[in-house]
Structures are given as structure tokens and as C-alpha cells.
């Protein structure tokens, strides 16, 4: 639990005579006897996908490998580990009493942490909970775990960016829209699509990364016919912030980009200079780390991964100094050039993917090269380097980019006999710069793969997004390379699934052991993965078996579209988004709806079977003369816009029967306790009340903020106490020991005033360890240690308390130390919850002080500590004397003092009104010198004798002193020599000097 100061009964000091060790004063409670027979306890751990603190059986799947410890009141334990379905029924044979404490720990080695609890029924329990299975009763505990870096709210929106030709203005740039699509065109209402920017604000981009504080990061991209953004021909990463509603340059990575050729109006029809630069210059994919602190970007100019620190949040973020890591060319199986591009980030995992383009197989006879030599590769980024994870071939049948089925029958028709290089074939080609032949509608295709995006599925499989490079080399009704012919590219991207035997589950089945319910914890060797085969991936079955397309002759994802007179077998554009735990996978695509040609949009699949569950049309591109990209790559990357993961604090208020400050099994909860959290820096306080289980939870839904410190106040005055032992009054309760024991999960955090302080961590932090125990008070001793300035033994006005002094509690009969504490800022101290009996207190004075005389003042405000040992007389507490707050001790300086007594020389009458100066011999010359080069030193102010003829000089260092009489009482003669001495003082001693004056005759 949170670290707080010492409790009321645990004291820390040293007695003048040798106080030793700390002790606790409390009463004990007998261990319950075994019940007549325990019922069944079932423990379940689940993945709380939406972080709402409630158990949704359809959404929150079981987590294996979590460890449960069940403890009885005697301290005996039983341990158990959750099985493949996330449940376990522990053997309680060795426990007794029937009332137990259950403590759950996440599976080792993963990223899972406690999730929010206490939501709507059926509510999830905190990692520490209490059950009663006595008398055959059954109990069930369901606890949520999560990786907050993978949280995304149920109604998350999607974000992509539209692309437009040349330097056109006013076209859609960044757009955001609901991720839930309907079956009917356009898949949602226009009101759910918001245009955030226009194309001229960022121009050509592909990679998009989003953080959880309102920022989208956009990587500059090289696309023929499309100009660079405001920063120019450099590898700029732009940032859009939803609060400022502006696009700014976040950072610029190394590399200069080839300038576009604007030409003459209509502009950018040719733009041949960048034809071969697509995929070789600019920035590939962009992603934000799971914790939101790093921006990852693949630089296509130098084949390096850049990790740019994101400092701050919201519109105040700035870019730190980037680290760069060369992405190695695969050692084997890599023909031609190495083209890293795509990223996959889930939790702490970071994957980087690319293709080897087999350019060295391109020839004049076969300008499309040898696709069998191309391979895709995926690496794991370790934080400092890369390890191979998976590689796969790209020579598999993919059907046609465009199958014309209308009239005239003599028009060119692509069919399943097509091969790479044939007109409108969707089969991958080696990277090349050829100019493909058109069909009758002036469509062209020459698909070349770029591994542009990676998603990690819930079961650890990889989902690979491939973008068609050629559809960024050729526009819509723009000039072919080195030609004036106007042609239109038809894109033919792809979405593949790579399956791992580490998590082969079918829909609805529990996650396998080792996955810990989180794809982030999944690790695999390079050869663990295999590419989907004829629509199958492990135990999963896809959407298009035996369609003579895809690896093995079938496709897992349904990525085709059918129109009245045409079919597109591959419509995706390489941007992916997957929402963990919710069976939703999206991809950018053109013509997502059947019979609605020339549209740019998004397709939604069930990732467990590749079936279409929705489509979304974002923009029509039907006008062939427009500045949009028709059936080509008209959209950039695709990202989810996720909120910050919720935060929560909480635990339990209970009645501490044995007064030991620890939440023991069988100790009852206390409902009705008000808990108020007030931000330390100012702000609105949040108040909740403990429920029937004594539990309280304060979270994001209540207004709790991450990264904020709160003062907690527990108020028991309206608590329900009928179920507590002895039915004490609510107002008569007191708080138990704070921070007792070694387990912070089951201690009490409230101080004696019911106060605690907690700092909420970053987004996603859940702290269920802030508990508070209540007790019925017993006896109390205490009062005050003060500085007795005038040494009269009375607490006079203006005399301050002595803070931080040690006070010990002893048994006067045996001398045994029972406890110890220190005085507060006001000098007060208190021993509470004392059993009936006799006690003695002993005080340890600060260095340089001793005690004033005992019992010299009035009752309750005088010193009761004996000089010099600083101990009180025994005090007896019991039914007739529960509280004694009269045990004070006055402190006086343990320094030298000189006191003179002035009398009449003849009658010895005490004389007031005589004035004296005190001088210390500091020049080493005998006698008093008050002037000259080296005079002695005057100490303190002049002192006049009082009615008792006394005058004192206090706090004097040891040394030799002289008194000089400056005035005599009226009627008395001045002495011929007003100087007397020398007087020698030693440390801590008082010197009494008697002087006399004669009457003036």
C-alpha cells in the first residue's frame, strides 16, 4: 500500500535509560474453529477488455497462469493456478474457519496488471478479496487483469487521410469516423464522418500514428502526382492536434526527397521524376509505442527505424532526440533490394516488416521479373536491434486486379489463368519501373508488394497489410511513365494472416497457456509462424476457401468486390487497424461495397474468420477528371483513435478485530464510510461511500485524473456498525495502525485522523491497495513536551512545543518497554488503544536541554517529569479513568547561568533596581578591559535586580566573567570600583554571586 507515517501504537524513539525496539500494543482475537464443512470456492481471472470493472462473459475471456493464494485466520495458505479457461477451484483441505482472504497475482513474465474493479454487476473483484464458504456455502471470485497499453474504448473512432493529385486544395485530408459500420451503403451516416484537415495542410502522407492525448503523427510519403507537405522535399513528420485543430511539423528525419515535376496545367499529370522513387524515399509506416512515449518511423531513405521521444502530452508535446537503428537486410533468401516499410506495435512488442524486391530478376524479356524470388520478412525490434521472426513467399495466385464481365464480349478479360505481368493481373511482380498495357477502359495494373502495416492478433497471429507500390506510381487519368497517354491504375493490395502454433485457438475458445491472455506476451521463433493456407490459419477457418487465390489456393480474408460488369479480386490499400479483444479488423480499400464503384473507404472483417462484417464509403472518386485517385491508392494508413486507459484507486474499509492493522480473514467489512479524494493542487473533490463489502472505488468515471496527487479522507461517522462485534457507535470508532506488516496490499493506510495521500500514476494505473481499518478505542495517555523558557515549570503563553522528541511507554512494575512515539510539531504526543493497567512515561530531551522541576505548575499545565531522569509517576487506566492528557514535561536549556543577589551591606535586605553588565574575558589579559584595541566581550543585555534582589544571565558558554555595576538603588552609594570578578563558569552549571551596596551618607 501507499507509504505513510508511523501509526499511533507503533512508536519510534529511545528512552533516556535506553529505550529499545518498537512494539505494538493490541488485543488478540482467537482463531476461528474449523466449520462443519467448507463449500466450493471458484476463482476466475479474465481479461477486462473495456476496463469497466464488470465481467462480460462474451467479451472478457479467461486468463490462464494466474496464481491465487487463499489464507485462513491462522495464517495457513492454499495456492492454486488458473487453468486454460482462466478458472481454478483450490483445495481448501488444509484451511479452517470457512472465512478466507484470496490474493491473486498475474501470470509471471507478462504485461498484465490489475484491471479496474467494482463496476456494474457482475462486478469484478480487486486482486485481494474476502470470501465465506463456511457451512457448505459456495463462493466465486472473478478478478480482471489487463494490459492498459492495449486499451481502446468500445466506440473508438478510426482515422485515415485522403490523398489528392498535385497541389489541389480543399480536398479531404485527415478524416475520422465511427468504427462500427452498417451493412447498407455508405456504412454510416455523413454526420459520423468529420473532416479534420484538407489535403493541402499535409499533402502526401502514408504512415499515421496516434497517441491518447489528441495527436496524430503523419509521415511524408513519396507518391507520384502528389506534392509534399508544407515542410517541402524532406522527411517531415507532421502532427495534428485535435485541441488546436492545426497541423505542425513535429520532427524531420534525415533524407532529401526527389522533387516533383509540376509541369503545366493541368498540373502533375506526368511527374516522371519520382516514378522509381516510390517505396525508396520518404517515410514508410509510423506508429506510437504502447505507453505513448515514443514515435516509431521507418525511413525509406536509409532503411532505419527511428524512435523519437514524445515529450509531454496534448498540444504541448515536443520531439526529443531520435534514436536510429539500421534494419538489416535478411542474410538469406533476399533477392534484389531490401525494402523495410511496415510496423506493428502492440503493448511492448514492436515489429518491423519489409520485402526483398527481386529487382535483379527484371529483364527486357520479362520486365515484371521473377516473383518467386520475392520474399517478405518480419523482424522483432528488441530496443537496440532486430531479431528475425518470420519470412514468407509472395509467389501465390491472386486473381485479377480488374475482371471485366460486360459488353462487348471482345473486350479484354482477365481470368484465373492470369500470371504475373499479364494485363490486369493481380499477381505480384518484382519491383520494376515498367509501363503496363491498358485494357479497354484504360485501366492498368502492375502490382508490386510493400509490406506496409502489421497487426498482432489477440492469439498472437500476425496480420500483414501489403500496399500495391504501382498504385502509388500511377494515378487516375494521369500520364503513363514517359508517355502522354492518360491511364488509371487499379490497386491490388492484400491482407494475409501468419499463424503461430503458440496460440492456435478457434473463435470462442480460451487462450492457450503461455499467451497470458495478451498478444503482447507472446513470443515465437522465426520458424514458429506459417502463412495462411487455403483460407486456414491454425484452427481458424477463413472466408474464401478453394477460390484459386491466396496461399494454398484460398484466402482467409474476403477482400474482393463485385460490380454489375466487373470484379476486383484485391481491393485493399495496405492500411490496417485491429481493436484488441473485440474481433474487429479494418483495412483501407477502394470500392468496399458491391455495385458502388469508384469510392475510397474501409472494409471491416471478423479477424477470426475473415468474413465481412461491414464496409464504409468515405469519398466518391467517380469523376475521372477529378484530382482524386479513382480505384488506385487514394487513402493513407488507418488508425484507431483510442482514449487514455482509465485509472482507478480503491480497496476496503474493515473492522480490525485484533487491532493489528492487517486485513485478516474473517474481519468484517464496514459499509457506509465516506471516502473523499481531493486533488492536492486544487480542483473538485470526489466522494464515494463504501458498499456492503466495505469496498470503495474511485476512477476515471468519477473524475479521477492520471498523474495527480490526492488527499484521501475517510469519514466513519455515518458508517453502518450493526454487524460489527459489540455494535459500537459509528462516532466512537477510531482508525487502526497504519502500514502494519510487510504486505502493503492488506495493511491500513489511514492515519489516526483518517487521512491518506495517494499519487495516481500514468493512464491505466490501477491501485487497489488503499485500505483503512477501524477499531473501538481503549485507553489513552498523552499531552505535551514544551520549552519552558523562563524555567518556572508552567506552560506559559508563547512557550513552544518541542517537536520530534522521543517518548517511551513502560510497565512500571517490570520496566518493560511497551511502545514509543515522537512528539508532533506542537509538542503533543499520544498513546491510544491501551489496555487497562498502569503505565509510566519517559521522555528523552533534545541535546542541550534538561527538564524543569516536577509539579511546579497547575494541574494539567505543569511538568510531571522528574528531574533529571525525565520519567513520570505511574498512571493507572481503566473503566473509571480512560484518558489522561496531563503528562507534560518542560525543557530548560542545559547551559551555564550566572545569578547575582544584591543586598543591603548592613541589614542584608534584598535590593531591587541595581543594574549590572556582564563581560566575558576574551582577550586573555587579567582584569576587565571595556575599550582599547582588544576589549573583552559584553554578554547579553544589562540586567536589573527584581523585588527579590535577583538578576540572572542565561545560556552562557563556559569561561571567565566580570560583573560591572552600572546603577544602584535610590539612596545607595556607587561603589568606588564597580567591577567584580573574575567568576569562572563551567558547562551546565549555575553560579550564584552575592553583592552588597552601602547607603549614601
Mean pLDDT of 352-356: 99
Separation between Cα atoms, residue 414 and residue 423, nearest integer Å: 7
Q: Is residue 6 scored above 90 in pLDDT? A: no
Mean pLDDT of 32-48: 79
Q: Is residue 523 scored above 50 in pLDDT? A: no
Mean pLDDT of 959-987: 92
Which residues, including other chains, have CB under 8 Å from residue 355's CB and lie 6 or more apart? Answer: 339, 341, 374, 375, 376, 377, 394, 449, 450, 451
Cβ pair 215, 292 in contact under 8 A: no
Separation between Cα atoms, residue 581 and residue 585, nearest integer Å: 11
Cβ pair 219, 206 in contact under 8 A: yes
pLDDT tens string 427-482: 999 999 999 999 999 999 999 999 999 999 999 999 999 999 999 999 999 999 99
pLDDT at 205: 99
- String of DSSP letters for 499-537: E-TTS---TTSPPPTTSTT-GGG----GGG-EE-BTTEE
Q: Is the peptide bond before 602 cis (omega within 30 degrees of 0)?
A: no
**What's the CATH fold of domain 40-151?**
Immunoglobulin-like (2.60.40)
pLDDT at 862: 65
Q: Is residue 27 scored above 90 in pLDDT? A: no
pLDDT at 880: 74
The set of cell numbers assigned to 654 is 474493515
Lowest mean pLDDT of 376-385, 593-602, 991-1000, name the range.
Answer: 991-1000
Separation between Cα atoms, residue 626 and residue 396, nearest integer Å: 35
Q: Is residue 913 scored above 90 in pLDDT? A: yes
Lowest mean pLDDT of 352-366, 910-924, 938-952, name the range.
Answer: 938-952
How far does Cα 110 stand from its chain's mean position?
16
Domain ranges of the chain: 40-151, 157-641, 667-776, 779-893, 896-997
pLDDT at 990: 77
Question: Left (φ > 0), alpha (ψ -120 to 50) or beta: where does 78 sit?
Answer: beta
Cβ pair 237, 294 in contact under 8 A: no
* Cα separations in angstroms, 760 against 674, 699, 700, 764: 20, 10, 11, 10
Q: Is the peptide bond before 122 cis (omega within 30 degrees of 0)?
A: yes
> Which residues on adjacent β-strands are paired with residue 654?
669, 773
- Of 266 and 562, the one with more pLDDT: 562
pLDDT tier at 866, thresholds 50, 70, 90: low
Q: Is residue 527 scored above 60 in pLDDT? A: no
Tally of CA atoms within 13 A in the half-sphere of 229 that contains its CB: 30
**What's the CATH fold of domain 779-893?**
Immunoglobulin-like (2.60.40)
Mean pLDDT of 87-105: 96
Separation between Cα atoms, residue 686 and residue 698, nearest integer Å: 8
Question: Left (φ > 0), alpha (ψ -120 to 50) or beta: where does 399 sit?
Answer: left
By three-state DSSP, how is residue 316 classified?
A: helix
pLDDT tens string 124-141: 999 999 999 999 999 999
Domain 896-997 sits in CATH at: 2.60.40.10
Cβ pair 113, 125 in contact under 8 A: no
Mean pLDDT of 25-41: 54
Q: Is residue 12 scored above 50 in pLDDT? A: no
pLDDT at 720: 97
How far does Cα 571 stand from its chain's mean position?
40
pLDDT at 232: 97
Work out the number of other CB atoms within 10 angstroms of the CB of residue 992.
11
The set of cell numbers assigned to 96 is 479452517
The runs of H, that is alpha helices, within 277-327 are: none
Mean pLDDT of 844-854: 77
Separation between Cα atoms, residue 124 and residue 775, nearest integer Å: 28
Q: What are phi and psi of 314, to 5 degrees?
A: 60, -145
Separation between Cα atoms, residue 279 and residue 432, nearest integer Å: 11
Q: What is the DSSP letter of 126?
A: P
Q: Is the peptide bond before 266 cis (omega within 30 degrees of 0)?
A: yes
pLDDT at 24: 32
The set of cell numbers assigned to 662 is 492487517
* Nearest in space to 720 (alpha carbons), one of 752, 694, 695, 688: 694
pLDDT at 944: 94
pLDDT tens string 302-313: 999 999 999 999
Q: Is residue 908 scored above 90 in pLDDT? A: no
Q: Is residue 30 scored above 90 in pLDDT? A: no
Separation between Cα atoms, residue 497 and residue 543, nearest integer Å: 12
**pLDDT more than 90, % of the chain:** 79
The runs of H, that is alpha helices, within 310-437 are: none
- Of 554 and 860, the one with more pLDDT: 554
Q: Is residue 759 scored above 60 in pLDDT? A: yes
pLDDT at 938: 94
Q: Is residue 515 scored above 90 in pLDDT? A: no
How far does Cα 424 stand from its chain's mean position?
51
Strand order in the sheet with 157-162: 193-195, 174-178, 157-162, 635-641
* Nearest in space to 416 (alpha carbons), one of 546, 533, 543: 546
Separation between Cα atoms, residue 818 and residue 836, nearest integer Å: 13
- Of 54 and 155, the one with more pLDDT: 54
- Of 582 and 864, the one with more pLDDT: 582
Mean pLDDT of 798-813: 94
Work out the number of other CB atoms within 10 angstroms of the CB of residue 213.
19
User: In this structure, what is the dihedral angle of CA atoms 545, 546, 552, 556, given to the nearest 10 degrees?
Assistant: -20
Classify residue 413 as exposed, middle or buried by CB count within 10 Å of its CB (0-12, 13-18, 19+).
middle
Mean pLDDT of 779-798: 88
Cβ pair 261, 241 in contact under 8 A: no
The set of cell numbers assigned to 218 is 503523419
- String of DSSP letters for 785-819: EEE-TT-SSB--TTPPB-TT-EEEEE-TTT--EEE
Mean pLDDT of 235-240: 99
- What DSSP element (H or E) covers 70? strand 67-71
The set of cell numbers assigned to 343 is 510496423
CA Rg value for the chain: 42
pLDDT at 769: 97
pLDDT tier at 894, thresholds 50, 70, 90: low
Domain 157-641 sits in CATH at: 2.120.10.80
Q: What are phi and psi of 341, to 5 degrees?
A: -155, -55
Q: Is residue 511 scored above 60 in pLDDT? A: no
pLDDT at 855: 55
- Of 692 and 183, the one with more pLDDT: 692
pLDDT tens string 254-279: 999 999 999 988 899 999 999 999 99
Lowest mean pLDDT of 73-87, 190-204, 436-450, 677-691, name the range.
Answer: 190-204
Mean pLDDT of 547-563: 97
- Of 999 and 29, the one with more pLDDT: 999
pLDDT tier at 167, thresholds 50, 70, 90: confident
Q: Which CATH architecture has domain 667-776?
A: Sandwich (2.60)
Q: What are phi and psi of 553, to 5 degrees?
A: 90, 15
The set of cell numbers assigned to 335 is 533477392
Q: Is residue 9 scored above 50 in pLDDT? A: no
Q: Does 667-776 match 157-641 at the fold level? A: no
The set of cell numbers assigned to 458 is 489477440
pLDDT at 309: 99
pLDDT tier at 228, thresholds 50, 70, 90: very high
Classify residue 474 as exposed, middle or buried by CB count within 10 Å of its CB (0-12, 13-18, 19+).
buried
pLDDT at 197: 98
Amino acid at each position: 500500500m501507499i507509504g505513510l507515517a508511523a501509526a499511533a501504537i507503533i512508536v519510534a524513539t529511545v528512552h533516556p535509560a535506553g529505550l529499545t525496539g518498537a512494539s505494538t500494543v493490541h488485543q488478540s482475537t482467537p482463531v476461528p474453529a474449523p466449520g462443519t464443512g467448507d463449500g466450493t470456492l471458484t476463482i476466475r481471472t479474465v481479461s477486462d477488455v473495456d476496463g469497466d470493472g464488470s465481467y462480460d462473459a462474451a467479451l472478457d475471456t479467461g486468463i490462464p497462469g494466474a496464481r491465487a493464494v487463499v489464507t485462513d485466520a491462522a495464517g495457513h495458505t492454499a495456492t492454486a493456478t488458473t487453468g486454460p479457461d482462466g478458472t481454478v477451484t483450490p483445495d481448501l483441505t488444509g484451511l479452517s474457519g470457512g472465512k478466507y482472504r484470496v490474493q491473486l497475482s498475474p501470470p509471471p513474465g507478462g504485461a498484465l496488471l490489475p484491471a479496474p474493479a467494482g463496476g456494474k454487476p457482475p462486478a469484478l473483484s480487486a486482486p485481494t478479496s474476502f470470501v465465506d464458504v463456511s457451512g457448505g456455502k459456495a463462493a466465486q471470485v472473478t478478478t480482471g487483469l489487463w494490459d492498459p497499453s492495449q486499451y481502446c474504448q468500445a466506440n473508438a473512432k478510426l482515422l485515415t487521410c485522403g490523398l489528392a493529385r498535385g497541389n489541389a486544395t480543399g480536398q479531404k485530408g485527415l478524416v475520422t469516423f465511427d468504427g462500427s459500420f452498417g451493412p447498407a451503403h455508405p456504412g454510416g451516416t455523413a454526420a459520423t464522418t468529420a473532416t479534420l484537415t484538407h489535403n493541402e495542410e499535409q499533402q502526401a502522407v502514408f504512415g499515421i500514428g496516434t497517441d491518447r492525448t489528441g495527436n496524430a503523427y503523419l509521415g511524408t510519403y513519396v507518391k507520384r502526382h502528389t506534392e509534399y507537405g508544407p515542410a517541402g522535399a524532406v522527411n517531415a513528420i507532421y502532427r495534428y492536434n485535435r485541441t488546436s485543430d492545426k497541423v505542425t511539423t513535429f520532427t524531420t528525419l534525415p533524407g532529401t526527397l526527389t522533387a516533383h515535376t509540376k509541369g503545366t496545367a493541368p498540373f502533375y499529370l506526368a511527374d516522371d521524376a519520382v516514378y522509381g522513387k516510390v517505396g525508396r524515399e520518404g517515410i514508410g509506416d509510423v506508429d506510437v509505442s504502447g505507453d505513448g512515449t515514443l514515435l516509431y518511423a521507418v525511413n525509406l531513405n536509409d532503411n532505419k527505424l527511428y524512435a523519437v521521444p514524445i515529450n509531454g502530452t496534448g498540444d504541448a508535446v515536443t520531439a526529443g532526440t531520435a534514436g536510429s537503428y539500421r534494419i538489416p537486410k535478411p542474410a538469406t533468401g533476399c533477392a534484389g533490394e531490401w525494402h523495410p516499410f511496415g510496423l506493428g506495435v502492440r503493448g511492448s512488442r514492436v515489429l518491423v516488416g519489409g520485402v526483398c524486391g527481386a529487382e535483379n530478376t527484371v529483364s527486357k524479356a520479362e520486365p515484371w521479373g521473377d516473383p518467386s524470388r520475392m520474399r517478405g520478412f518480419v523482424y522483432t525490434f528488441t530496443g537496440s536491434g532486430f531479431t528475425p521472426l518470420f519470412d514468407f513467399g509472395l509467389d501465390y495466385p491472386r486473381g485479377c486486379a480488374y475482371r471485366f464481365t460486360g459488353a462487348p464480349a471482345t473486350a479484354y478479360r482477365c481470368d484465373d489463368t492470369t500470371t504475373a505481368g499479364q494485363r490486369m493481373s493481380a499477381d505480384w511482380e518484382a519491383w520494376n519501373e515498367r509501363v503496363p498495357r491498358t485494357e479497354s477502359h484504360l485501366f492498368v495494373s502492375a502490382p508490386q508488394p510493400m509490406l506496409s502495416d502489421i497487426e498482432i492478433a489477440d492469439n498472437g497471429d500476425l496480420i500483414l497489410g501489403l500496399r500495391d507500390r504501382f498504385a502509388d506510381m500511377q494515378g487516375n487519368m494521369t500520364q503513363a511513365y514517359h508517355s502522354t497517354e492518360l491511364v488509371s491504375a487499379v490497386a491490388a493490395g492484400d491482407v494475409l494472416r501468419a499463424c503461430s502454433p503458440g496460440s492456435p485457438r478457434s473463435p470462442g475458445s480460451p487462450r492457450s497457456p503461455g499467451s497470458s491472455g495478451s498478444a503482447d506476451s507472446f513470443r515465437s521463433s522465426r520458424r514458429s509462424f506459417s502463412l495462411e493456407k487455403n483460407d486456414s490459419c491454425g484452427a481458424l477457418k477463413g472466408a474464401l476457401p478453394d477460390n484459386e487465390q491466396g496461399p494454398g489456393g484460398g484466402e482467409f480474408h474476403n477482400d474482393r468486390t463485385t460490380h454489375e460488369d466487373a470484379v476486383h479480386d484485391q481491393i485493399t490499400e495496405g492500411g490496417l487497424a485491429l481493436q484488441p479483444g473485440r474481433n474487429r479488423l479494418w483495412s483501407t480499400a477502394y470500392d468496399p461495397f458491391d455495385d458502388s464503384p469508384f469510392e475510397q473507404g474501409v472494409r471491416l472483417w471478423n479477424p477470426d474468420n475473415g468474413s465481412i462484417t461491414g464496409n464504409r464509403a468515405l469519398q466518391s472518386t467517380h469523376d475521372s477528371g477529378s484530382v482524386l485517385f479513382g480505384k488506385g491508392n487514394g487513402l493513407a494508413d488507418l488508425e484507431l483513435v483510442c482514449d487514455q486507459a482509465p485509472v482507478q484507486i480503491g480497496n476496503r474499509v474493515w473492522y480490525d478485530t485484533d487491532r493489528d492493522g492487517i486485513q485478516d480473514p474473517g474481519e468484517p467489512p464496514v459499509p457506509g464510510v465516506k471516502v473523499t479524494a481531493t486533488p492536492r493542487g486544487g480542483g473538485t473533490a470526489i466522494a464515494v461511500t463504501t458498499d456492503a463489502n466495505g469496498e470503495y472505488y474511485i476512477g476515471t468515471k468519477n473524475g479521477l485524473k492520471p498523474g495527480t496527487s490526492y488527499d484521501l479522507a475517510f469519514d466513519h461517522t455515518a458508517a453502518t456498525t450493526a454487524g460489527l462485534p459489540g455494535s459500537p457507535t459509528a462516532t466512537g470508532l477510531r482508525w487502526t495502525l497504519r502500514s502494519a506488516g510487510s504486505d502493503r496490499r492488506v495493511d491500513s493506510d489511514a492515519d489516526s485522523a483518517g487521512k491518506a495521500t495517494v499519487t495516481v500514476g500514468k493512464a491505466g494505473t490501477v491501485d487497489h491497495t488503499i485500505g483503512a481499518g477501524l477499531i473501538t478505542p481503549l485507553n489513552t495517555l498523552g499531552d505535551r513536551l514544551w520549552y519552558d523558557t523562563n524555567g518556572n515549570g508552567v506552560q506559559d503563553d508563547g512557550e513552544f512545543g518541542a517537536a520530534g522528541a522521543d517518548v517511551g511507554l513502560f510497565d512500571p512494575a517490570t520496566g518493560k518497554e511497551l511502545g514509543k512515539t515522537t512528539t508532533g510539531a506542537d509538542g503533543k504526543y499520544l498513546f491510544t488503544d491501551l489496555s487497562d493497567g498502569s503505565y509510566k512515561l519517559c521522555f528523552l530531551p533534545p541535546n542541550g536541554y534538561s527538564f524543569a522541576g516536577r509539579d511546579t505548575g497547575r494541574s494539567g499545565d505543569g511538568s510531571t517529569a522528574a528531574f533529571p531522569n525525565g520519567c513520570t509517576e505511574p498512571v493507572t487506566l481503566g473503566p473509571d479513568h480512560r484518558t489522561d492528557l496531563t503528562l507534560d514535561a518542560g525543557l530548560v536549556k542545559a547551559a551555564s547561568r550566572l545569578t547575582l543577589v544584591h543586598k543591603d551591606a548592613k541589614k542584608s535586605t534584598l535590593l531591587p533596581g541595581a543594574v549590572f553588565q556582564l563581560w566575558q574575558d576574551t582577550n586573555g589579559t587579567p582584569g576587565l578591559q571595556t575599550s582599547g584595541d582588544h576589549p573583552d566581550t559584553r554578554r547579553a543585555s544589562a540586567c536589573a535586580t527584581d523585588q527579590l534582589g535577583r538578576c540572572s544571565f542565561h545560556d552562557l558558554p563556559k569561561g571567565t566573567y566580570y560583573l560591572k555595576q552600572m546603577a544602584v538603588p535610590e539612596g545607595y552609594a556607587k561603589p568606588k570600583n564597580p567591577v567584580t570578578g573574575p567568576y569562572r563558569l563551567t558547562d551546565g552549571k549555575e553560579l550564584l554571586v552575592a553583592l552588597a551596596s552601602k547607603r549614601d551618607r
